[in-house]
Every structure is written in C-alpha cells, then in structure tokens.
Structure 1
Amino acid sequence: MTAQPLAGLTSLKVKLGLLVVASVAVALVVASLGRAGGVPAWLSIPVTIVLALAVTQLLAVGMTSPLREMTAAARRMAVGDYSVRVTATSRDEVGELARAFNTMARDLAEVDQQRRELVANVSHELRTPLTALCAVLENLVDGVGPRDPDSLAAALAQAERLVGLVEDLLDLARVDAGKAPLTPQRVEVRALLDDAVAESRVLGRDVSYEVHVEPDDLVVHADPARLRQLVSNLLDNASRHSPAGETVTVAASRTGDRYRLEVHDRGPGVDPSDRQRVFEPFGTLSATDGTGGTGLGLAIARWVTDLHGGTIRFVDPEPGADGARVRVDLPLQPHDRPLPRQEDVMPVPPPVPTPESQPQPPAYPTPRSAPVPASASPIVVPPKPLLDDWFGTYWPERGTPARLSILLGASAVGVLAAIVLPFRNLGLGTFLVLLAAGAVILAANRDRRDPFVAACAGICVLLAATSVVRAAEWIVVLCLLAGGAVCVCASARARTLPGFLVSGLSWMLAGLRGLPWLGRTLGALTGLGQGSVALLRTLVWSVLALVVFGALFVSADALVAEWLGGLVPDLTLDTAVLRGFVAIAVGGMVLSAAYVALNPPAVDQSAVAVRPTAARYEWLTPVLVVNLVFAVFLIAQATVVFGGHDYLQETTGLTYAEYVHRGFGQLTVATALTLVVVWAATRRAPRASVADRVWLRSTLGLLCAQTLVVVASALYRMHIYQEAYGFTQLRVLVDVFEAWLGLLVIAVLVGGIALRAAWLPRFALLSGALVLLGLAAINPDAWIAERNLDRYAETGKVDWAFLRDLSADAVPALAELPPDLQGCALDELPTDDDWLEWNLGRERAADTSIAAPVSWAELEARCPASD
C-alpha cells in the first residue's frame, strides 16, 4: 500500500492547508536557489513548477482515492455486486465516509442475500402446491382419476394454499410499505381457538391438541381474520416441530386490560440465541429433526401482533417440561387501523428487476454476481484514475506496467547531462547525452521494429551528430529541435499533421498524464523488500569506497588527479544549483518522452472528420479563384521576363533587386497556403463519381503546377537578392525552406494521381529533417563565407561585421583571404576544448593557420570599408 504522509491528520481542511503551504514553500525555495545560482528563467520556471507539482502529488496521495473508489464501487453495486469495499486508511472526513460506505455495502450485501433466499424459498413453497394442483388437474383431464367432488376439493385445497401463500407475501409487502389495515371486532376466544385447532388437524400431522381458555367465555376486540392467522401460524409451526404422538397445548388467559395466548409444543425447542432471529422472514427454528417451514409463519405472526399493539416472544417452558413455548400478549381493545384510501396506499413493491432490465452505468459495468460468503474476502475496487476525466479517450490510462529500468535510465541521463552540459560548448558530450536519452526512449518504444520508428531513430542520431560535426550553433540547435520533433512523433505513432502537432503537446502533458505510472514505478522501487535494502546498502558502500580510495590516489598521483579533474565537474554551490536544475529538466524531458512511447496517446483522433460537400461548386469555386490569382501572377512574371528590367523600372520605379526583395516573403507564404488549400479541398471534395475525381485531379493538379512555378520564381528572386546584397544564414535557411515546400508540392502531385496520400504527412516530417541534415552537411557557415568572399572578389563589397559573427566552421574558408585581411573577418581565434567539448568544426579551425583577429576599434582603420 502506498504511504500517505498526511494520513494521521483528522481534518481534510488541515490537509489541504498543509498541502498548499508545502507546495508554495517548495516553489519559493527552488525559485530562490535558481535565482541565486544564476539559472536562466527558461530553465528555472519549468523545474520549479515540476517540483511543486511533485510535492503536491506526494502529499496528496490517498486524499481523494477513497472518493474515486466509492464512485467505482457504487457503479458496481448498481448492477448487483455488493462484495466491493473501499480502502479507508485516513482519519479525516473522507476516511469516515469510506468506513460508512463499507458498512452500507456490507448491510446491502446482507439484504441482497435475504432477498435471494426469499425468492428461493417462495419459489420452493409455491412449487409444491402448484405441482400437486397440476397433478390433480392432469389426472382429471387424462381421465386417470375420477371427476368427483373429492378430486375437485383436493384441487381447490391446493389452489387455496397457493392463494394463502400469495396473501402472506402481500401482507408482508404491506407491512414493509406501512399500509396494513386493522378492523377490530368482538371475538370469542374459545370459538376462534377451536376453529384454528380444527383447521390444524386437517393437515394430518400425528399430534394432538389441548385448548385452555380462562375464563371460558373470554371475549376480546381484535381483527378476527388477523387473529385467526396469528393462531394458525403458531399452531402450524408447533405441529411441524412436535414429534409424532405428542401434544400441542394452546392456552388463553386474561391479565388486567390485556390477554395472553401461548402455544407450547414438545419439540426440541429454540436456542435462546435464536429466539429473535426466528421471527425474521424465512427464519426457521433449529429443529434437531431437520424439519422446517418457509419461515413466513412466524414473521406474519409477529406482524399481526404488532398490528394489534402487542408483543410476541419465545419463553422458557414450564419447569419439568421441554419444547418451544411462544407467548403473545395483546390488548383487549386495540386501536383501529382502517383500510386507507386507494390514493394513499403505497403500491406493492415491483418484482426484483433482472440484470437485463436495469440500466447499465456509464463505467465499470460488471454482471450481477452471487453474494460473497461471510468467509470470503471483500473485493477492494481500485479507484478510477483522477486524470482520466481530464484526458478522456484522447489519452486513457491503460494500466501501463511499472518500468523501473526506464525511470532509472531517465534519472541517469539527467545526472549525465548535469555533469556534461553546463559550462561547456556543444560537442561530443552533448552527443553522448542525446544518445543516452534516445536509448532510453527507444527502449520504452514497443514498436522498435516498425520501419517508421526505425527511420526516425536513425534520423535522430544523425541530427544529434551535428553537435559534434558543426560549430555553428544556429544550425545545430535547429537540428536538435527537429530531432526532438521527430522523436516525439515516432513515440506517439502519429500519422497526420494534426497528430504531429498534438504529439508535441503530449510531450509537455506527459509529466501530468504519467503521474499514475510514475507512482506505480516508485511503488515498485520501494516495494522490493529485502532486495531494495540490499541494493541501497551496496550503493552506499560502493560510493564510500570510491570516495575514500579515489581521494587517496588523487592526492598521491598528479596524472590521476588530472584525469579526475576532466571527469568530475566543479561542484561549488553556484554550479551545483545550475547542475541540479539541468538534471531535473533533462531527466524529466526524457522520462516524459519515454512515457509517451510506453503509453502513446491517440493523437490522430484530433483530426476532425469532415463531410464532403453536397454540391461540387462549394469546393470547386474557391479552388478556381486561387488558380485564377496564380495565373495573374504568372502572367505578370512573364511580362517582367519578356519586358526586361527597363520595362520594370519604367512601370514600377523599382530596380530588379528591389523588386525581388519585396516579393520573396509573400511568395513563400503563398506556397505554404497553397498546401493548406489543397489539404482542405481534398477533405471537402466528394469522390463518388468519375466527374468528381476528374475535377479534383485537374483543378488541384493545375494549382500545384502553378505553385511550382511560384517556387521557382521565389528561389530565383532570392538568388538575385543574395547576389546583390550578400548571403546570410537567414536567407539561406529561407531558401532551403522554400525548396522543401516545393518538394512537398511535388509529393502532393504524386499523391493526387491515385487520390491516396496517407503517407504524405510522415513524408513531410522525414523529408524536412533530411533537408535540414543536408543543410548541415554542406557546412552552411563555410558556404556563406565562400559566397561572400566571391562577391568581394567581384565587387569589392563585403560586410566584415557579418563575417566576424560566423562560427568556427567558416575559419578554413576565411583563411583564403589575403593575410592582411584575415584578421578583419575574425572576432576571436578558437580555444582549446576539453574532450567533452570536442567538435570537428572547432578542431579544423584550430588547426588552420590564420592571422590574429583585429579588434573592433581597429576594424574601420585597418580593413576596407564594408557594405
């Protein structure tokens, strides 16, 4: 059972107060440490929120689980399963409610057991006279038995017995409803007892009866039918349990304003511990001979006694006698209880509903089960996870099993990141951390052999490797972000564009959705018993041995001390705070991504199903309008091409460089919007008829063809602009983005041939990552430097300040400048990195022979004027 830190408190309000205080205190402490340690806000804020939520989750364990257990148990009880119980471990109001709920469930189980016994006993008792009646009637119909008054009387007797049983049941129902009538009249006790004894003799039991009435002319006021029913049931019970040849004594006497009836048999008697239970419906006397009735007789006898305002009980037999002795004390003049009006009568309870007739609850449907015996252990209903109501069908809790290896792996990655990443440049250490994180996430992925997952894993490794190959942080950061996107999309098994977007959101929400799984995993960690103690003991001794012997050898050998300095980070207070934040942030992100892989959400459900349009013009008209606009633009481009630059300047007053600069961004947006138009049209356009498919292919195909011309125009415009104003990272990146959009347009054309493009979203994701890898492969900073140097050689124009901002990747290209100009293009020379910062771009720059950089103050004096 999970430990509950606040279980000992008796007030829910106090628990909530302590919960708020603890969460706020942790948030303040963590935020203060982050500010004191110089942790950036983008790192300290999410870590503070995560730790505050973790403390809240730890302290809130078990506070609401009884309520959720009760909800689940109530739903199961609604379909007849009364064996459920809830866990009540706290001492507050919720715990008291849970204990009261368990008491109610136990009582309902007992009532349900009695109901089942009632149905069984009534069925048994009704079967006997029905069988006898059917046998008599069959004999009469088949001519086997004579059709004389005796046979008809036997059939009538069985029918009357059935009527009597039904009347008894109806009487019990009226008692339960509180609407039983009573009409007292003058009754001669002697005559009533004689008639009851005569009727009892008809049953044919081998017993005799003695009747004693004092005084002999005793007259009382009572409901004659009810009083006759009372005496008959007592005589029937006494004759049933009396041995053959014995005598049943019936006595009546007056005592003041009351009179007493007693029935005494010579049977085995009733144990004092059972004397109250036998008056319950279908409670039977514990006869040694095993005989017994339906149990309705004594229950009805008590009901009649209560109607008259009297008492009934079993008393000890007279000295020297044995058997059972029933005593009934009744008033001589009971209060009238007339039959109520029809509109006031509570209807007889309906038959017990069957499982098929009962409405099923919305959750936790279980079939009706047999009552649990007293010796059986009650079923504890697991509570419905609280977050299920928040995430619904989008991300259900599927009972993902605890994975201790995933938790330990993510924690190890966090510790590794805290040691390697702070105060170092991107390099080999970053790549090692990313590889370790990817290994944990891949281990959590259940579809590692899926081609899409395998391809994503390979691309992620290549994207992570850019941190070792390239020194340009802008391209490395873009590759790492793309790798994270590819990783989370593969973990969530996304297939659509909305699914990709929701996958990224799922990564952020996994820290909340995965709390139940994290609780189970931590429970597995702490529930290892002796194994966990041994593991902890082993770790403590190992760390102690490492510290003691490591300190000795470090102090004894300078080389070992140098090696250790390269491995062990600086752990001063300021650096320790930052490293702690990094460990929590990186470990949490890896654990969140691993949970997405363990329990992937239904990300593709976010794609809303769209009905095709009823009429073709609803989608065709907007597409034709877009085609027309594209056609107008292409005509304008053709006019510029054939009219020449002079025509353009005469018409617009712009040079060609100014003209292309103003339109490139708009063309890029137009290309992206075209893909949106095609996506929307394919979802809305019907495809039932051949004409529908022809119109869809032709109009969208024409639009894609015109879009490819727009892409070519945009790329040409950017080329002209770069030739005029130089090359930069942003311009190259936008160039590559526009080319990737053109690739997607071609893919759309291919998919439009068969009108099947389910593969297109994943193609867009992987192709975008590969295009980014291709950009990193060409060494963009070096390529940009070379293009700007070519432009300098042709025009004498160069932006020295821009070249000085390029990364170490550009140093080999800048070494091609004349020695007196090399310092103009450099801001600083690369410094030596430790092995965890090793990077191919910085290594090549350090090995390149190049002049020392000039200072910014000397730049204008020593270097030619820049653009």
Structure 2
Amino acid sequence: MTMLMGYPGQPVIPPLIGPALPRRGEPGWTMLPRRVWPISPLAAAPHRVVLLAAVAGLLGTALWRPSALSVGYLVVGVMVFAVVYGTAERRPTRTEWVGLALTLALLAVPALLAADWLGVLCIMAAWIVGWCTLFGGRTWTAVLTAPFLAWALPARVLGWARRGVSARVGRVGVANPVRVAAVVGLTVLLTVVFGALFASADAAFAHLVGKLVPRFDGVDVVARIVAFGMVVGFVLGGSYLTRFAPRLDVLAPKPMKPVPRWEWAVPLGVLDALFIAFVAVQAAVLFGGHTHVLETEGLTYAEYARQGFWQLLWVSALTLLVLSAVIRVAGRVTASDRRVLRTLAGILCATSVVVVISAIHRMWLYQQAYGFSTDRLMVITIELWLGAVFLLVAVAGVRMSGRWLPHAVLTAGVVALLGLAALNPERLVADRNIDRFEQTGQLDAEYLSRLSSDIDPALHRLPERVRACVRSDSSHHDPWYLFNLSRSNADREVGTDLPDYCSQYGTYRY
C-alpha cells in the first residue's frame, strides 16, 4: 500500500480502498456526470431484494403476457411497487403515493376494457408516470428525461445485483450443482407422475389441472422468458432508484438573463391582439353551430367541422411554446414587470381556451351529424387536456410560481386519459351510433365490427336481425391468467359470413 504525499503543508491523501470507478463501457458506467448520478462501486443489492425480484419474476411468467391486455398488467404493477417500496429504506413521499396511485389506475384499464388502442395508451402513460415517480425530480427536464433514462438502468443494476448475489454466496457457500439438479429433477418427476395418475383417475381433477397448468409452445416459452426478465428488471431497477436516485433537476437549464420588458411585451401584445381579433371576427364560425351551417350556402357539417380544426389544434400547441419562452425570458423584478406579464399572458391563455372550446365544439357537431368514432373522441380528449394546461399556466402566472407545473400538466394528462377510459369510449361510440340508427335507420355495421368486445352490451339495443350484421372476427377463450373483464363478458357472434340483407348496413360515408 502506498501513501500519496502532498506538497509541504498539505494533508496526506489516503489510498483508494475498493474497486475503481467503472470506465467507459464497463458495468456501472454512465454518460451522466457524477454530480447528477453518483456511482457507488461498492454497493451491493440486499439479499431480500434479489430473492423477491426472482420470486416476482416467476409469478410474472405465470400471470402476465406483455402482448395481451389482461389483469396481468395490474398484478405485475402491484407486485413491483410492493417489493420496491416494501424493501426500501424509506417511506414513499406524498408525491410518490400520488404517482403510484395514478400508475396502478392506468394499469387497471387493460384488465377492464378490451380496446387495444386505449390499453396501449394507458400502458405507455403508466410507463411515463411510473418512472417519473421512481426517478423523482420536479423540473421539466426530469419529467422528460426519466422515461428514457430507464433504458440506461441495466448498466447500473447488473453490477449492483451481481455484487449482492456474490456477497450472499460467499457467506453461505454454494451447493453442489449436481445435487441441486438431482433434487430439481426428482421433484419434477414426482409431480408429473403423481399428477398424471390423479388426472387419469378423476375427470374433475383432470379438468382443474388442465385449467391451472399452462400449455407450452415455442412462442409461449419465449414470452415467459421475456416476462421474467422484464419483471425482474422492474423490481431491481425500482429498488436501485429508491437507494441511488439521480438528481435530474441538476440538468435543468439555468434561468436565462431577463430581457428588457419591451422586447417580450411587444410581440406578446401583438399576438394577444391577433387572438382577440380572430375570436371576435370568427364568433359566428366558432359558435354558430347548426344555424351557421344552415345559413351558409354549400357548407356541409363535414366542411364546417374540418374548417380550420387542425389549424386550431396547432395554434393551441404552439401557444404553449410561446408562453414557455416568454416565461423564461421575461423579467419579474419589479411590480410593473409582473403586472404586465400577468396581463399579457392571461389574455393569451384566456383566448386560447376559447380557441380550444371552439375546436371541441366543431368536432362535437360533426359527431352529432355523422356519428361518433374513437379517433374523434381521442382528439376531443387531447383538446380538453390542452385547455386544462392553459388554465394551469394561467394559475402559475397569477402566482408567479411554476415549480409545481410539470407534475400538474402530467397529472392532468393522466386524468384526461383515465376519464376517457371511464367513459368506456368504444361502448360510447356504439351507443351514439345506435341512437343514430334508431333515428335515421343508418348503421355502420362494418365499423362496429372492428371494435372490441367493449361494445357487446350496447349491441343488445339493436334488433336481433340487425345485430347479426355486427360480428367479431375472433373468439375469446382466454386462460385464467389472461383474464379481461370485457372479453369474459363477450357474447357477440363470431364469423365473417353475413346474411345478404346486411349489405344495407355495411357502411356509410362520413
């Protein structure tokens, strides 16, 4: 051991004890600077974390298939969070409790509804909220970075878990691999032999075994291996973050030097005037509704609804970028600076909310006239979320404090998505189209046939003769571990051979 001597008058530098910090490409190496995510090369995963991660992974192989919307998503989410925070050295914060609740609520949607598009959106949102909860941070940088930084976790977690396993093995020793294999083989042999005998002796027991024991094939084996690896990764990654969370807020851009008031007030004031003029001049178009359509020669509902709808959507999104830029450069030193900023930003937020309402109004009228669809409901949900964001920005402007804004905007988006799921959108679409059928006799049976089993209860409102024209192209006989409430209650006829009279209910133009 060598001692590194300093210059005269300087303290002696102690020798380094333990492994050196990982180099580029080695396990534990990261592109983030150590001030953001400190490295602890001596840290090892606790034995209980590694053991429970393996147990959770085994349960995940039996209960979860990433490719199927089922209760498995919720079960895995509960298991992961239970192990992560049950073995953590601290209690969850209030913000973490909210994040956990929102994540599990999103993961419950695939267990209840069968709409693929909605389930995928909820799973993606759960990924974002879950990792933001585990990584922590309050800035926009943290919110936007955490879901992607999760892919860098294996570089840290593998070495942490390996050191934990090695430390445990060093303390208790390792059993002879041959004897371990012999015990496992004997256990499997006894289970198979006696299980087969009992199954052949009793039909009820055979039926129970057939339901409980999954049937394996090549694809299923791969799916189970993937599920095991993902669940173990979630548990180990979450457990690592509760102990060694990065400081992502350090990466946030530093406050910009305020610019003179006139440099931001003039363009913002002109933009306010433009918004006010647009809302005033286009009042008849924005809120004319049925009257405007009827009084304008040659204007159909489709043209009215589409007339500038996407432009208004882009206006809403770009306005948020303008507001974020103004907030970064506007000076707030004096009371007059703050008053001008509140006034101009408040006007822009208020008129933007009017634009959002007008866009929603157009799409709602279009659906009333031509029928509902899932795409249109999704667009309305996005517009509602944008409107909520404008209100949150206005509140932040009044308070002159926006530290809470990133989490509030993310929460508003999750609430909007959960609200859409609570409406059961595909059933809502089916109900509204059946209402239209009862009024006009027109039915887009082809479109309804493409929807999931969520619409099956609504189809009972149709006459049996018409209901036969709405078929499902696949039957749902899920094993118990892929339970989905909507699919379990499905009762729609399966098949593609339709009666000849169904051609009149095939489709209609929107």
Provide the TM-score with structure 2 as the length reference: 0.87
What code does the residue aligned with 1:455 have? V
Cα distance change, pair 664–424 in 1 and its aligned pair in 2 (3 A)? closer
Instruction: Find the counterpart in structure 2 of residue 482 from structure 1.
Output: 125
d(CA) in 1 for partners of 2:67 and 2:342?
Answer: 54
* More RCO (CA 8 Å, sep 6+): 2
- Aligned to 2:198, which of 553, 556, 564? 556
Instruction: Find the counterpart in structure 2 of residue 823 from structure 1.
Output: 468
What code does the residue aligned with 2:19 have? P
- Aligned to 1:746, which of 384, 391, 413? 391
d(CA) in 2 for partners of 1:538 and 1:431?
Answer: 34
Contact 1:419 1:568 in 2 (8 A): no
Matches of residues 384-395 of structure 1 in structure 2 within 5 Å? 384-386=21-23, 390-392=31-33, 393-395=35-37
Q: What are the superposed Cα offsets for residues 121-142 of structure 1, whole Å, 9 maximum, x if unpaired?
A: xxxxxxxxxxxxxxxxxxxxxx
For the aligned residue pairs, the C-alpha RMSD in angstroms reads 3.1
Cα distance change, pair 625–379 in 1 and its aligned pair in 2 (3 A)? closer
- Aligned to 1:527, which of 145, 148, 170? 170
- Aligned to 1:412, which of 16, 31, 55? 55
Query: What is the Cα deviation at residue 750 of structure 1?
Result: 1.9
Instruction: Find the counterpart in structure 2 of residue 811 from structure 1.
Output: 456
Contact 1:498 1:604 in 2 (8 A): yes
Instruction: Find the counterpart in structure 2 of residue 864 from structure 1.
Output: 505
Q: What are the superposed Cα offsets for residues 774-812 of structure 1, whole Å, 9 maximum, x if unpaired?
A: 221121111110011112222333321110011111101
Contact 1:648 1:656 in 2 (8 A): no
What secondary structure sits across from 2:344 in the alignment?
A: helix
Instruction: Find the counterpart in structure 2 of residue 59 from structure 1.
Output: none
Query: What is the Cα deviation at residue 445 of structure 1?
Result: 5.3
Contact 1:469 1:841 in 2 (8 A): yes
Cα distance change, pair 626–834 in 1 and its aligned pair in 2 (3 A)? same
Query: What is the Cα deviation at residue 862 of structure 1?
Result: 5.1
Contact 1:648 1:655 in 2 (8 A): no
Cα distance change, pair 785–448 in 1 and its aligned pair in 2 (3 A)? farther
Cα distance change, pair 537–448 in 1 and its aligned pair in 2 (3 A)? farther
Contact 2:66 2:227 in 1 (8 A): no
Matches of residues 591-670 of structure 1 in structure 2 within 5 Å? 591-640=236-285, 641=287, 645=292, 649=296, 654-670=299-315
Which structure carries more helix by proportion? 2
Q: What are the superposed Cα offsets for residues 97-123 of structure 1, whole Å, 9 maximum, x if unpaired?
A: xxxxxxxxxxxxxxxxxxxxxxxxxxx
Cα distance change, pair 792–397 in 1 and its aligned pair in 2 (3 A)? same
Cα distance change, pair 827–517 in 1 and its aligned pair in 2 (3 A)? same
Cα distance change, pair 537–433 in 1 and its aligned pair in 2 (3 A)? farther
Identity %: 31
Cα distance change, pair 856–682 in 1 and its aligned pair in 2 (3 A)? farther
Contact 2:427 2:458 in 1 (8 A): yes
Instruction: Find the counterpart in structure 2 of residue 703 from structure 1.
Output: 348
d(CA) in 1 for partners of 2:420 and 2:502?
Answer: 36
Query: What is the Cα deviation at residue 546 of structure 1?
Result: 5.3
d(CA) in 2 for partners of 1:544 and 1:629?
Answer: 80
Cα distance change, pair 679–444 in 1 and its aligned pair in 2 (3 A)? farther
d(CA) in 1 for partners of 2:88 and 2:318?
Answer: 35
d(CA) in 2 for partners of 1:379 and 1:497?
Answer: 38
| Structure 1 range deviating more: 502-511 or 718-727 | 718-727
Matched, 1:368 2:12: yes
d(CA) in 1 for partners of 2:447 and 2:293?
Answer: 33
d(CA) in 1 for partners of 2:143 and 2:326?
Answer: 20
Instruction: Find the counterpart in structure 2 of residue 87 from structure 1.
Output: none
d(CA) in 2 for partners of 1:831 and 1:783?
Answer: 22
Contact 2:36 2:250 in 1 (8 A): yes
Matched, 1:383 2:28: no
Query: What is the Cα deviation at residue 648 of structure 1?
Result: 7.7
d(CA) in 2 for partners of 1:743 and 1:477?
Answer: 23
Contact 2:161 2:236 in 1 (8 A): no
Cα distance change, pair 390–829 in 1 and its aligned pair in 2 (3 A)? closer
d(CA) in 1 for partners of 2:178 and 2:404?
Answer: 50
Matches of residues 140-159 of structure 1 in structure 2 within 5 Å? none
Cα distance change, pair 703–739 in 1 and its aligned pair in 2 (3 A)? same
What secondary structure sits across from 1:596 in the alignment?
A: helix
Instruction: Find the counterpart in structure 2 of residue 759 from structure 1.
Output: 404
Cα distance change, pair 839–389 in 1 and its aligned pair in 2 (3 A)? closer
d(CA) in 2 for partners of 1:646 and 1:737?
Answer: 25
> Which ranges in structure 2 are unaligned for 5 or more consecutive residues?
none
Instruction: Find the counterpart in structure 2 of residue 287 from structure 1.
Output: none
Instruction: Find the counterpart in structure 1 of residue 319 from structure 2.
Output: 674
What code does the residue aligned with 2:441 have? G
Matches of residues 4-403 of structure 1 in structure 2 within 5 Å? 77=4, 79-80=5-6, 353-356=7-10, 367-368=11-12, 380=17, 382-386=19-23, 390-392=31-33, 393-398=35-40, 400-403=43-46
d(CA) in 1 for partners of 2:155 and 2:197?
Answer: 47
Instruction: Find the counterpart in structure 2 of residue 731 from structure 1.
Output: 376
Query: What is the Cα deviation at residue 470 of structure 1?
Result: 1.2
d(CA) in 1 for partners of 2:217 and 2:284?
Answer: 69
What code does the residue aligned with 1:645 have? H
d(CA) in 2 for partners of 1:565 and 1:865?
Answer: 41
d(CA) in 2 for partners of 1:481 and 1:836?
Answer: 22
d(CA) in 1 for partners of 2:115 and 2:129?
Answer: 21
d(CA) in 1 for partners of 2:162 and 2:255?
Answer: 40
Cα distance change, pair 539–409 in 1 and its aligned pair in 2 (3 A)? farther
d(CA) in 1 for partners of 2:185 and 2:504?
Answer: 59
d(CA) in 1 for partners of 2:30 and 2:495?
Answer: 64
Cα distance change, pair 490–827 in 1 and its aligned pair in 2 (3 A)? same
Matched, 1:512 2:155: yes
| Structure 1 range deviating more: 423-432 or 830-839 | 423-432
What code does the residue aligned with 1:567 have? L
Larger Rg: 1
Cα distance change, pair 664–440 in 1 and its aligned pair in 2 (3 A)? farther
Query: What is the Cα deviation at residue 499 of structure 1?
Result: 1.0
Contact 1:445 1:598 in 2 (8 A): yes
d(CA) in 1 for partners of 2:490 and 2:497?
Answer: 21
Aligned residue pairs: how many?
497
What code does the residue aligned with 2:107 have? A
Contact 1:428 1:835 in 2 (8 A): no
Matched, 1:722 2:359: no
